[in-house]
């Protein structure tokens, strides 16, 4: 078992960024379209002496821009080192105003490539941090939450090996933008893989826990599993994958003080099939299905069968409109009581962002339904969120943006009418980059 300390990994990630910036910056890049700001992008070839680059800081940006020195000519047999780091700001207003913390995400990547052997070594990470209230104080990475991701990966001649740690909870998932399969997961994974033509075989060992934010109203489940995946990627066809996983799951109840109760352990096996198709710049689609069977460690006769299916589609229309519908269905049946639980979710995200415009708009609507065969639960939840942002140009000698966001949530359980709840929220946010 690999034990990783989040604070030490955070400090190590910040150190890697500092070293990467000091090794040598060869080119400066423009800001990323997703709202991030490139801080460092360097390419180092060989050991030839290089001039010391100068650093310029713009008054309206916190980013560091690096001048472009002339690269010394080197032979193609020498390794190439590439480093980059990006400071990404949140686009969700709730992250900007919640708890008076302005969360940012530092993303970095360092890659060393040796072309004669087609070998590549990559280190990467995502470090969330809260911007300090005083502009004179620098962000202290060691005092923040766990890193969102830290990892290393090596590739050579079709062989791949790597290790990764990640921690993405509900509080950060809008900022990090993790795929659905990786949201609300915390832990580590180690893997090896080999590509044989169109076929890729992957063996992974992982220990991941959900409920990262440790909400005492929800249980916390830790899954220690070994998985084997076969992936087939024929040209002009969907990428097909099949995964078999087996291991142990421990489920505990959390106390309001942050403690954990006695774990309830299960042995489980699961088979997952998925398909991904990239239809070009205009659209892509993903579909998956999982069948899982678990046995209680103390009561082997207590079996639980789970079947879950999901599909997601992304459509890019007219270079400015993106539509992303999702749908998932889940069925769980317990053998001793023969109680069945059906859960279905549907969501639709619509965003409008003209490439050269100052306006950005998005809306999300989600629906979740959960029903049990014994009548103990018959719940429905509806969520609706809309946001509108406008770049005002320069206000008070600084770049400024005005944003609006409104949301509505409604939860009702026909089996427990007293649990019904409604919530309406609204935000107005004015951002001045120089303040």
Task: Compute the radius of gyration of the chain from its Cα atoms.
Answer: 24
pLDDT at 429 over 90: no
Choose from 138-142, 171-175, 199-203, 215-219 the range with maximum mean pLDDT.
Answer: 199-203
Average pLDDT, the chain: 77
Give the model's pLDDT for residue 116: 82
Counting residues of the chain whose pLDDT is more than 70, the rounded percentage is 71
pLDDT tops 70 at residue 66? no
pLDDT at 357: 80
Contacts of 318 (CB under 8 A, 6+ apart): none
Question: What tokens were used for 208?
Answer: 């991941």
- Spatial CA neighbour of 401 closest among 358, 345, 372: 358
What pLDDT, on the 0 to 100 scale, is given for residue 51? 38
| Average pLDDT score over residue span 73-101 | 67
Question: Greater confidence, 431 or 243?
Answer: 243
What is the predicted pLDDT for the residue at 133? Answer: 54
Give the burial class of 20: count Cβ atoms within 10 A of its Cβ; 0-12 exposed, 13-18 middle, 19 or more buried. buried
For β-strands 264-278 and 359-372, DSSP reports them as unpaired
Inform me whether the pLDDT recorded for 310 exceeds 90: yes
pLDDT at 268: 92
C-beta atoms surrounding 230 within 10 Å: 13
Which region among 161-170, 179-188, 236-245, 413-422 has the lowest average model confidence (pLDDT)? 179-188
Q: What number is the average pLDDT over the span 420-431?
A: 87
| Count of Cβ atoms closer than 10 Å to residue 23 Cβ | 16
Nearest one of 11, 2, 27 to 125, comparing CA atoms: 11
CA–CA distance, 129 with 107 (Å, rounded to integer): 11
Give 311 or 91, the one with higher predicted confidence.
311
Q: Which stretch of 82-96, 234-248, 273-287 has the lowest confidence by average pLDDT?
A: 82-96
- Max mean pLDDT among 21-25, 82-86, 272-276 falls in 272-276
Non-local (6+) Cβ contacts of 276 within 8 A are: 238, 239, 284, 285, 286
Residue scoring higher pLDDT (83 or 355):
83
- More confident call, 281 vs 398: 281
Tell me the pLDDT band of 150, cut-offs 50, 70 and 90.
Answer: very high
pLDDT band at residue 276, thresholds of 50, 70 and 90?
A: very high
Burial class of residue 426, CB neighbours in 10 A (0-12, 13-18, 19+): exposed
More confidently predicted of 56 and 339: 339
Which residue has tokens 């990630």? 13
Predicted local confidence at residue 253, as pLDDT: 86
pLDDT, average across residues 253-272: 85
Residue range 263-272: mean pLDDT, rounded = 92
Residue with tokens 């890019």: 316
Average pLDDT for 390-416:
83
H or E stretch at 12: helix 6-23
CA atoms of 69 and 292, how far apart (whole Å): 56
Q: Is 97 helix (H, G, I), strand (E, B) or coil?
A: helix
Predicted local distance difference test score (pLDDT) of residue 418: 87
User: Is residue 395 scored above 80 in pLDDT?
Assistant: no
Give the model confidence (pLDDT) of 359-373 as tens digits.
Answer: 889 999 999 999 999
Distance between CA atoms of residues 197 and 230, nearest Å: 12
Pair of tokens at residue 433: 């980059």
What is the rounded CA–CA span in Å between residue 202 and residue 190? 11
Give the mean pLDDT of 238-261: 88
**pLDDT of the residue at 38:** 33
What's the pTM value of the predicted model, to 2 decimals? 0.66
Domain ranges of the chain: 1-165, 179-278, 300-435
pLDDT tens digits, one per residue of 315-332: 998 888 999 999 999 999
* Per-residue confidence (pLDDT) for residue 179, from 0 to 100: 62
């Amino acid at each position: 078992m690999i034990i990783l300390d989040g604070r030490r990994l955070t400090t190590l990630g910040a150190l890697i960024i500092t070293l990467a910036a000091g090794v040598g910056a060869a080119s400066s890049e423009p800001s990323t379209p997703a709202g991030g700001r490139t801080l460092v992008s360097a390419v180092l070839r060989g050991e030839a002496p290089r001039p010391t680059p100068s650093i310029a800081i713009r008054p309206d940006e916190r980013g560091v821009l690096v001048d472009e020195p002339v690269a010394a000519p080197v032979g193609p047999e020498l390794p190439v080192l590439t480093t980059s780091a990006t400071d990404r700001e949140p686009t969700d207003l709730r992250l900007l105003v919640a708890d008076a913390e302005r969360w940012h995400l530092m993303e970095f990547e360092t890659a060393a490539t040796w072309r004669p052997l087609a070998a590549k070594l990559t280190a990467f990470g995502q470090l969330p941090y809260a911007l300090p209230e005083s502009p004179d104080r620098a962000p202290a990475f060691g005092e923040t939450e766990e890193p969102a991701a830290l990892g290393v990966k090596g590739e050579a001649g079709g062989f791949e090996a790597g290790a990764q740690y990640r921690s993405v909870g509900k509080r950060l998932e809008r900022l990090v933008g993790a795929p659905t399969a990786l949201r609300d997961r915390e832990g580590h994974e180690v893997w090896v893989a080999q590509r044989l033509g169109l076929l890729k075989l992957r063996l992974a060992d992982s220990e991941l826990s959900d409920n990262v934010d440790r909400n005492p109203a929800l249980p916390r489940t830790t899954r220690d599993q070994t998985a084997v995946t076969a992936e087939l990627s024929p040209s002009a066809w969907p990428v097909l994958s099949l995964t078999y996983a087996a291991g142990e799951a421990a489920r505990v109840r959390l106390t309001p003080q942050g403690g954990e109760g006695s774990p309830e352990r299960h042995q489980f096996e699961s088979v997952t099939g998925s398909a991904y198709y990239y239809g070009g710049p205009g659209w892509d689609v993903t579909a998956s299905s999982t069948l899982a069977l678990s046995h209680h460690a103390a009561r082997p006769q207590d079996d639980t069968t789970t079947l879950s299916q999901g599909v997601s589609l992304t459509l890019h229309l007219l270079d400015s409109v993106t539509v992303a519908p999702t749908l998932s269905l889940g069925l769980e049946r317990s053998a001793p009581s023969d109680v069945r639980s059906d859960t279905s979710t549907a969501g639709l995200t619509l965003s409008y962002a003209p490439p050269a415009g100052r306006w950005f708009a998005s809306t999300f609507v989600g629906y979740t339904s959960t029903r049990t065969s014994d009548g103990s639960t018959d719940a429905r939840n509806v969520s609706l969120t809309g946001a509108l942002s406008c770049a005002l140009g320069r206000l008070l000698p600084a770049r400024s943006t005005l944003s609006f966001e409104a949301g509505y949530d409604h939860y009702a359980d026909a089996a427990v009418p007293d649990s019904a709840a409604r919530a309406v929220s609204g935000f107005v946010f004015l951002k001045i980059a120089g303040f």
